[in-house]
A and B are shown apart, each in its own frame.
Chain A
């Protein structure tokens, strides 16, 4: 199979550029714009659409992401090895994928609708949203269309022999553009918009994904912080030995024990010291 320059650009150069922007962009944003790093919640302004749209989208997205990890990262030979036949795999993937995809698409549709139709929300929409929402929608719609066209209504297309091979090649630093050249157009477009989405990711509200507050499950309820580290002298010590047992008991009982005393890396201030230009 011949690999043209266009293929090299589309399936090697472009993905790597997008991934580089993704990585460097995140480092830059995290260091420069903690104040802008937020979900940018708009539930205060509109709640009826959000009530259904947001959980549908997010839960659907979790399932879809899990499906992509299995479908792209796990080679077909591995699933065969544990006794999952090609047919069983695809039947399951199509069914679960369709349910998750429809949930995600419905949710995203509702979230887009409220953003477009509710004037209050439309006015809070900033430039990054105007890039992110269309890009995310395009990626989702293309992905669902590809599955529907080829695997639900079509004769069946085994992307694990092509798209997945290309995907793994990118991360294994052994690019295999030829694996992608033969894939149907919808799969190709889906992969390209996904690359673009990853490139835009660090500059949009999608960064909140990396702040999923899992640590909350293990944290003491109360958080104390010092204004700054104490100077030398009889300072306040976070864990005086004689009393830690009582506190441990209380925390075990899920009560609000005085938690870890952390130094304040920076003081709270409703008016932030720095705000990266977000066009508003």
Chain B
């Protein structure tokens, strides 16, 4: 644990996530269950707190990673100070009247519904009735021309994929002309619940905040005044304007579930079992310094330097002093996220160069390299072939580096080699052979660690993937209120438990204009 000689500052706990991208099949179950839970309401039809993108691809909203254009995240000014890319405080207040860097609905997509009624009410005729699309914004027939996963499985890639901001110069050409040979993987995205959240820092009303107990970043709906600066400031474009209520909404990390010790809905329903949830302890006093690290490629190490080792007695003492309860410390010791991020170092943050210190990390996919080995006539199962590919095939590697390490391909190569060595070792073991520990040693793993990592990544039992300690009742009077909130209740339904009914902010205007209201 590279903590140096400095003393430990304020210790905070963060519920963090890791996704193992090799296992993502792009089924969108996470997105759909998230939408059903949180955004199946008027005003946020276009918003996906969780979405799954195909990479290479322009993403959702279109080209959101192009910060030269969208001005998301932080940057260092000429004097090396950390400033929001969208400008200083005064500039932000001056752009309240019209935010020049706010994506329009077209940058997401125009939400549609369908004339389902026509399927049953159309008069008898020669042709089958069809359900035609209708814009949810205008209630009028429209053509569906874009969506949150329009390029699913590289659909339309020859036309669009070169617009991926992570592809520059020669790569863009290669992807455009050889797209049938290019690699493909899926990237599920949700709010990163950053340690240094740009959205919170940009909120003029102070309505956005990071929770001290679990690090979840939330919008206080009662204090949000609709200044929409958070949307611009978030480099991941994971804060959305609800155009019916005029307020910002974002991924809540399913806080009612997390408080009850349950995984988020996207994690719970992930059929690929690729998500991991667990605690990370970090030194809150070091966040600002780490985020201002001069070299972008040092940001990964700087962020790892902020995390604290929950096995270290000194850290435990400091955490107790900061008020972190004992069972949370125990959960932090068992955290799969800590293992993947700090112990095995196979997980990487998405775009660390945005300097927000994101807290949803990814195990980069080996599949693009394996595909390349296949395409070159090599043997996927021979680690030598894969190692050679990792060192020679720059395109998938540098692309992954653009996503996860601010362009440092060596770090990605190190992780991929570790995964390759693990894969080959466990393959031999499974086939009853002794297993070649030389390859393991080369990537810094012992046989025991390889077994553990294999269990965590490949066997991935529920209780190993999700170690979420329940919130403490004694310091959370607000939880009582949470328990009685039911997200599916709407005005007009009978109250269930003793008349305590919670009304939802569901304006009915759009519902009637599309005719789908009972």
Contacting pair B481 A267 (CB below 8 A): yes
Given A123-B137, A240-B10, CB of A234 within 8 Å of CB of B487: no
- Other-chain contact of B225, A39, A235, A261, A269 (Cβ < 8 Å): A39
Cβ contacts under 8 Å, B327 to chain A? none
Contacting pair B292 A222 (CB below 8 A): no
Interface set, chain B 22-78, CB cutoff 8 A to A = 38, 41, 44, 74
Interface set, chain B 172-200, CB cutoff 8 A to A = 196-197, 200
Tell yes or no: A156 within 8 A of B by CB. no
Q: Mark A186-220, 1 if CB is under 8 A from B, else 0.
A: 00000000000000000001001001011111010
How many angstroms from the CA of A51 to the CA of B104 in the assembled complex? Answer: 12
Cβ contacts under 8 Å, B41 to chain A? 271
Interface set, chain A 254-271, CB cutoff 8 A to B = 254-258, 261-262, 264, 266-271
Contacting pair B211 A273 (CB below 8 A): no
How many angstroms from the CA of A229 to the CA of B394 in the assembled complex? Answer: 53
Contacting pair B97 A124 (CB below 8 A): no
A-B contact count (CB 8 A): 242
Cβ contacts under 8 Å, B244 to chain A? 124, 280
Contacting pair B210 A266 (CB below 8 A): no
For residue A35, give the distance in angstroms from its CB to the closest CB of chain B: 6
A-B contact pairs, 24 of them (CB 8 A): A41-B228, A43-B98, A51-B98, A51-B100, A57-B97, A119-B138, A120-B138, A124-B509, A208-B226, A216-B204, A222-B197, A222-B201, A223-B206, A243-B10, A256-B196, A258-B285, A258-B288, A262-B209, A267-B481, A268-B209, A270-B249, A272-B222, A278-B507, A280-B509
Tell yes or no: A149 within 8 A of B by CB. no
How many angstroms from the CA of A72 to the CA of B438 in the assembled complex? Answer: 88
Cβ contacts under 8 Å, B477 to chain A? 228-229
How many angstroms from the CA of A43 to the CA of B227 in the assembled complex? Answer: 10
Interface set, chain A 229-260, CB cutoff 8 A to B = 229-231, 233-237, 240, 243, 246-247, 250, 253-258
Q: Mark B233-247, 1 if CB is under 8 A from A, else 0.
A: 000000001111111
Contacting pair B196 A280 (CB below 8 A): no
- Other-chain contact of B223, A34, A58, A120 (Cβ < 8 Å): A34
Tell yes or no: B271 within 8 A of A by CB. no
Tell yes or no: A68 within 8 A of B by CB. no
Cβ contacts under 8 Å, A236 to chain B? 10, 212, 322-323
Residue of B nearest to A217 (CB): B89
Tell yes or no: B503 within 8 A of A by CB. yes
Cβ contacts under 8 Å, A275 to chain B? 503-505
Q: Could you tell me which A residues sit within 8 Å of B by CB distance?
A: 34-35, 37-45, 47, 50-52, 54-55, 57-59, 119-120, 123-124, 126, 205, 208, 211, 213-217, 219, 221-231, 233-237, 240, 243, 246-247, 250, 253-258, 261-262, 264, 266-275, 278, 280
Q: Give the residue among A35, A41, A226, A246 with the most B Cβ atoms within 10 A.
A: A41
For residue B185, give the distance in angstroms from its CB to the closest CB of chain A: 30
Contacting pair A268 B219 (CB below 8 A): yes
Interface set, chain B 125-157, CB cutoff 8 A to A = 137-140
Residue of A nearest to B220 (CB): A268
